[in-house]
């Protein structure tokens, strides 16, 4: 079965405008040359506090505090160390801290919803954040997105990037979401769903979720 969603998925209305209407062009130059000249990320550029989305504000954010961790692996199952992982998400009320989001839900002054980290030698990443809320979108009548966190995984340059989404187990909105359902293979869809993990959970502080990304097998975000 096909792992990645098609560029054109009419149930997801935005793809009608975004999907390529012409066949791809063959690159005449070595495509790796562009990757080698792109920016390379060093550990000094990422502060450890960047991975805690609940820190750096005047007060505590509202909502359910969670820990999200896992490993970035290549197609052979080997860890990918020192790779930049970025996330962004809505707050617990389902609203993004972005001027284009005019959803009538409250903004949280103590939560901006973006973070980043570098994977360790075992390809492991870890974020502390707030579980995002579902939110309405205007794709179709009474459309709501399941709770999710956007992930961006970089290689050694900006030209090497996977953008995808992580979901939470047992969400009743899965059956109604055309983005989630645009992935043809049901087994591939499940690879986007995190797993609750009591060992990651910290008593009286935060619930833990585990989610691994396997490059080449984890579905990319629908175009």
Active-site residue 138, yes or no?
A: no
Decide if 39 contacts 222 (C-beta within 8 A): no
Choosing from 4, 71, 96, 189, the catalytic residue is: 96
Instruction: Please say if 148 is a catalytic residue.
Output: yes
Cα angle, residue 92 at apex, residues 90 and 93 outer, rounded to 5°: 85
Report which of 126, 124, 127, 41 is spatially closest to residue 79, judged by C-alpha positions.
Answer: 124
Catalytic one of 9, 71, 150, 191: 150
Query: Of residues 9, 12, 95, 135, which has the active-site annotation?
Result: 135
Specify whether 4 is catalytic.
no
Separation CA 161–CA 220 (nearest Å): 10
Residue from 95, 116, 145, 189 carrying the catalytic annotation: 145
**Catalytic site residue from 116, 148, 189, 191:** 148
Length of the chain: 223
Give catalytic residues, as residue numbers.
Answer: 96, 135, 145, 148, 150
């Amino acid at each position: 079965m096909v792992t990645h969603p098609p560029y054109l998925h009419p149930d997801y209305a935005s793809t009608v405008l975004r999907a390529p209407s012409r066949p791809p062009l063959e690159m005449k130059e070595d495509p790796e040359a562009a990757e080698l000249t792109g920016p390379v990320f060093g550990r000094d550029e990422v502060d450890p506090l960047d991975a805690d989305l609940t820190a750096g504000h005047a007060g505590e954010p509202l909502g359910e505090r969670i820990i999200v961790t896992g490993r970035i692996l290549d197609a052979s199952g080997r860890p990918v160390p020192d790779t930049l992982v970025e996330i962004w998400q809505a707050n617990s009320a389902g609203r993004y801290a972005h001027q284009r989001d005019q959803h009538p839900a409250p903004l949280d002054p103590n939560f901006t919803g973006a973070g980043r980290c570098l994977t360790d030698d075992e390809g492991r990443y870890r974020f502390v954040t707030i579980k995002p809320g579902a939110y309405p979108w205007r794709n179709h009548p009474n459309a709501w997105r399941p709770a999710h966190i956007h992930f961006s995984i970089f290689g050694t340059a900006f030209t090497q990037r996977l953008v995808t989404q992580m979901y939470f187990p047992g969400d009743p909105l899965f059956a109604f979401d055309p983005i989630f359902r645009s992935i043809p293979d049901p087994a591939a869809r499940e690879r986007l769903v995190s797993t609750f993990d009591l060992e990651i959970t910290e008593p009286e502080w935060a619930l833990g979720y585990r989610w691994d990304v396997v490059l080449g097998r984890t579905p990319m975000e629908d175009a």
